[in-house]
Amino acid sequence: MIIWSIAKTTVGDALRKKVLQIFLVVAIGLIIISLSFSQTLSFSSRAGSSTDIMLVKSFGLGLMAVAAWLISLVMGVSLIPQEIERRTIYTILAKPVKRYEFIVGKYLGAVLTLAINVAIMGVVFIAVCVFKAMGAEQPVTPEETGLPLVGMQQVGLFDWNMVWGVIMIFLQFTVLTSVVLLFSVFLTPTVNFFMGLGVYIVGVMAPLTETLSSKESQLHPVLKVFYRVIHIIVPNFDKFNVTNTLLHPETHIESMAKYTGIVTLYALFYSLLLMLLAVIIFRKKEV
Amino acid sequence: MPEGNSRPLWILVVVLIVAVAWTQYVADPIQYKMQEKARPKAGGGELMVQLPGQFIVASVAGFKEVIAGALWVRADTFFHAGQYEAIIPIVRLVTWLDPHNVDVYSTGAWHLDYNFVDTNQMSDKRYIPAAVALLKEGIQHNPDIWDLYFELGWTHYNKKILDYEKAVEYIEKACTKDGVDPNTGQRVPRPEYVDRMLAHMYEKVGRFEDAIRQWHRARKRVEETIARERKKKKGGYVDTTSLDVCDRNLGLLYLRMAWRYGDMDAYKKGLEIYKRLASRKDAPAQLVEATRGAEADYTLRVATNNPPRDALKPLDAGFEVTWKKVAPKVFIIKGKVNLVPASEYKDLASECFTHWYRDNQNAPPEQRKLWRDGCRIRWILRDYDYKMPELKTFSYKIDKSQTIAWDSVYVSGGTFSDRIDLSQDPDFYPFKADKYKLTIMFVPQQAECPDYVQDRIGWKGEALRDKRYLDTKTQPGFHLLRKEMVLTKDDVL
């Protein structure tokens, strides 16, 4: 109950933050504008339908990721320091609130805020995708409708893979939020922002750190060990980066549901792990 | 104040580390499999360094597809500004960033094949190998859909490489694949025209039995689709146009096999199809008349045991070609070819169906035609030792020291003439070699040889004879007309 109260307060605080509102509005605006980008394409060899749709999807997923990335970083870095700065933490901890409840409540609030933002963007994005697909045609005779004429047919309107895409974005940034939450226990917001950014970039480049630490790598053994440690410790954000797979499901996916399930567990365990470390540190911290 | 004992929490940390490691262990193989398919298999790496810094950061930070999309929008801007040179590097980058964007491969190849044109709107043929390599790379990344096999087949078939055997090979492959819905990625059947194109191509290369089988296969696919549609609509209107297209083409193939080579069994089969089409209430009068004419002709020929063999009656092509330099890099090609005097149609078996000769004779004298025009003569001017390169990997960097040009000239009234001006585009035609080869040829199977001309000379040009320029070696089984000349630098410049 206490955790839920803290979470609700965190959500309320976060949603009132102008900077987060701006990220959300700008992202939604750009997602809608991407519709007109794609309409400028006219030299495509297939009347543009497949490239146009792909453009809308890739822009939308990319913009949502950027917005969610900024929201989780900006929101996450101030989660704990803000309470300390405003001295509200003293009031909270003076009440029968355990420190772990405070941390968990804060994290839960941050994740809920992220979920609300990603959900709003996701709904707009999927609506834009459906709008783009309306009237888009392809030169295929569909199995389902059985139209015998050679010619153009309406493409499928709803692509479930985009829903997976939105979920992946949310999962990815719940992990980043837990990273910045951990850092916010002992770092200032500015340092935390750059640390979080660094961890994210290294995490996205997981295939690179893996290659550098592999047996085939020509690097010095010490460096290999260094990259191996980096690869193991830093959350593998690349696991959530499946845009190409989602844009071309026919070429990649065997079971997106299975993969999403595993990655959800990964995000959950990793977030719990970092939250736990944050709790351990926060318990030792003199506040 | 700090709170109590942390040991249980540390135990939980260890448990969670194990849990994270386990999920990573389970997710890794699936992720690697997906990423392996998303990874470009060829090219592009060297171009990555040309990307502006922010693009590199964005693409390694997980926004590759966004960058690919942004670049493609940029390519469109370049296209409308006429800056064609700028588009191809973008095609390279986009296919590298997103190797499953089939549209970019086909648009890129089309662009290389057709859009680099000289002052006279002739395309730069030196880009064709790059177009082929790009499509092959696209196939390597997208082997399970029909699209790029078809594009590659079309590039070999129409106007560009003119290698019909290879074209057949690629379209055959296209006919074994399905397509995908560009929005949902769901499998959808390939368009029917792909199957029909294969049947036409079999005809072009003289594989008539394969063509017949392919028309039946194409028809069967259409029948199945119509049956499904009828079941679904429960007696409602179902368009059967595609079925008619298959029937008419198959019927014509049979009839032509009969008229051209005397296959009376094929005549019977072709007639059966056309009789069925003509017996419909809505059959056009012209079709009914044509079918009646063919039926009468068939009956007479069976009775008199006189199978037609229009394409086996020799036709002297009387091919003559002259070549003249009128200014440096400007030439005039002139010539005559006996394709095809109207009189040649007088007794053709196909007349019973087309009635062209009869209608022409009945026309007012000023409208009466003495020739049946429509053929084109192809000319190729190239460095003496030019051989079209076969690129193993896509590269748009062409050898700008090479000269290769070709086009075709329309034959009208049995004569042809063309002024070839290669002087205005030194970048396209540098003429750096010491010797050149000018080939002027007529290929009966080319897309520019109309069916009615083939009615007289056959699919493979079997009727063609010529004292000087008949070529039966270049393409065994085919009769081509071919004159080849070796030119020196002085002849050209």
pLDDT at A138: 57
Q: How does pLDDT run across B374-397, given as a tens digit for each residue?
A: 999 999 999 999 998 888 888 888
Domain co-membership, B443 together with B482: yes
pLDDT at B484: 94
Domain co-membership, B248 together with B361: no
Which of the two residues, A121 and A93, has the higher pLDDT score?
A: A121
Residue A12: other Cβ atoms inside 10 A: 11
Q: How does pLDDT run across B324-334, given as a tens digit for each residue?
A: 999 999 999 99
Residue of A53, A140, A204 with shortest CB distance to B189: A140
Domain co-membership, B346 together with B430: yes
pLDDT at B361 over 80: yes
pLDDT at A188 over 70: yes
Distance (Å, whole) CA A144 – CA A158: 15
Please report the number of interchain residue pairs, chain A to chain B, with beta-carbon separation below 8 angstroms.
242
Range of the domain at B353: 315-492
Q: Which of A250, A280, A282 to mutate to test the interface with B (most CBs of B within 10 A)?
A: A250
Q: What is the CATH number of the domain that holds B244?
A: 1.25.40
Q: Which A positions 30-69 lie with beta carbon below 8 A of chain B? A: 37-38, 40-46, 48-51, 53-55, 58-59, 61-63, 65-66
Domain co-membership, B205 together with B286: yes
pLDDT at B398 over 70: yes
pLDDT bin (cut points 50, 70, 90) of residue B29 is confident
Q: Which residues of A touch B31 (CB under 8 A)?
A: 238-239, 259
Give the orientation angle of helix B64-80 with respect to helix B53-60, to 10 degrees. 140
Query: Which of B266, B268, B169, B290 minimizes the C-alpha distance to B208?
Result: B266
Distance (Å, whole) CA B412 – CA B110: 30
CA-based nearest residue in chain B for residue A47: B103
Give the orientation angle of helix B102-114 with respect to helix B128-141, to 10 degrees. 170
pLDDT bin (cut points 50, 70, 90) of residue A155 is low
Range A175-191 burial, b when 16+ CB lie within 10 A, else e: bbbbbbbbbbbebebee
CA-based nearest residue in chain A for residue B30: A259
Distance (Å, whole) CA B193 – CA B36: 33
pLDDT at A153 over 60: no
Domain co-membership, B320 together with B337: yes
Instruction: Tell me whether A222 touches chain B (CB under 8 Å).
Output: no
pLDDT at A145: 40
pLDDT at A39: 56
Domain co-membership, B485 together with B349: yes
pLDDT bin (cut points 50, 70, 90) of residue B446 is confident
pLDDT bin (cut points 50, 70, 90) of residue B37 is low
pLDDT at A207 over 90: no
Residue type (1 letter), A135: G
Q: Does the residue B334 lie in any domain?
A: yes
Q: Which A positions 71-130 lie with beta carbon below 8 A of chain B? A: 98-100, 129
Out of B278, B308, B338, a domain closes at B308
pLDDT at B57: 58
Residue type (1 letter), B349: A
Structurally, how many domains does chain B consist of?
Answer: 2
Q: Does the residue B469 lie in any domain?
A: yes
Q: How does pLDDT run across A24-78, given as a tens digit for each residue?
A: 898 899 888 887 765 545 554 454 456 677 778 888 888 899 899 999 999 989 8
pLDDT at B54 over 60: no
Residue contact A159–B185, C-beta within 8 A: yes
Both tokens of A212, joined, read 């550098």
Domain co-membership, B345 together with B396: yes
Q: How does pLDDT run across B141-173, given as a tens digit for each residue?
A: 999 999 999 999 988 887 677 788 899 999 999
pLDDT bin (cut points 50, 70, 90) of residue B191 is confident
pLDDT at A250: 66
Out of B308, B324, B359, a domain closes at B308
pLDDT at A147: 40
Q: Which residues of A touch B104 (CB under 8 A)?
A: 51
Residue contact A51–B37, C-beta within 8 A: no
Domain co-membership, B341 together with B323: yes
pLDDT bin (cut points 50, 70, 90) of residue B241 is confident
Residue of B182, B193, B241 with shortest CB distance to A155: B182
pLDDT bin (cut points 50, 70, 90) of residue B279 is very high
CA-based nearest residue in chain B for residue A198: B61
Q: Which residues of B touch A62 (CB under 8 A)?
A: 63, 65-66, 69
pLDDT at B53: 55
Burial group, residue B468, by CB count within 10 angstroms (0-12, 13-18, 19+) = exposed
pLDDT at A149 over 60: no
A220/chain B closest Cα distance in angstroms: 24
Q: How does pLDDT run across B55-96, given as a tens digit for each residue?
A: 555 655 567 777 887 788 788 778 877 778 888 888 888 888
Which of the two residues, A236 and B31, has the higher pLDDT score?
A: A236
pLDDT bin (cut points 50, 70, 90) of residue A150 is very low
Q: How does pLDDT run across B6-19, given as a tens digit for each residue?
A: 788 888 888 999 89
Domain co-membership, B255 together with B330: no
pLDDT at B7: 82
Q: Please state the φ and ψ torsions of residue B249, each to the nearest 5 degrees.
A: -70, -40
pLDDT at B90: 87
Domain co-membership, B369 together with B480: yes
Q: Does the residue B176 lie in any domain?
A: no
Instruction: Tell me whether A223 touches chain B (CB under 8 Å).
Output: no
Domain co-membership, B383 together with B483: yes
Q: Which residues of B touch A238 (CB under 8 A)?
A: 31, 62
Find the angle CA(B493)-CA(B376)-CA(B378) to the nearest 5 degrees. 35
Distance (Å, whole) CA A55 – CA A49: 10
CB B437 within 8 A of CB B487: yes
Q: What is the CATH number of the domain that holds B448?
A: 2.60.40.10
pLDDT bin (cut points 50, 70, 90) of residue B47 is very low
pLDDT over 90 percentage in chain A: 30
- Report how far Cα B152 is from the mean position of its chain's Cα atoms: 7
Q: Which residues of B touch A46 (CB under 8 A)?
A: 103, 106-107
Structurally, how many domains does chain A consist of?
Answer: 1
φ/ψ bin of B206: left (φ > 0), alpha (ψ from -120 to 50), beta (otherwise): left
Helix or strand holding residue B316 (H, E): strand B315-316
Domain co-membership, B339 together with B240: no
Is this complex scored with an ipTM above 0.95? no
pLDDT at A141 over 50: no
Q: Which of B4-18, B95-109, B426-440 has the highest mean pLDDT?
A: B426-440
Residue of B34, B68, B191 with shortest CB distance to A141: B191
Out of B273, B308, B343, a domain closes at B308
pLDDT at B4 over 80: no
Residue of A99, A204, A237 with shortest CB distance to B3: A99
C-alpha neighbours within 13 Å on the C-beta side of residue B200: 19
Distance (Å, whole) CA A113 – CA B309: 83
Range of the domain at A85: 2-284
- 3-state class of A42 per DSSP? coil
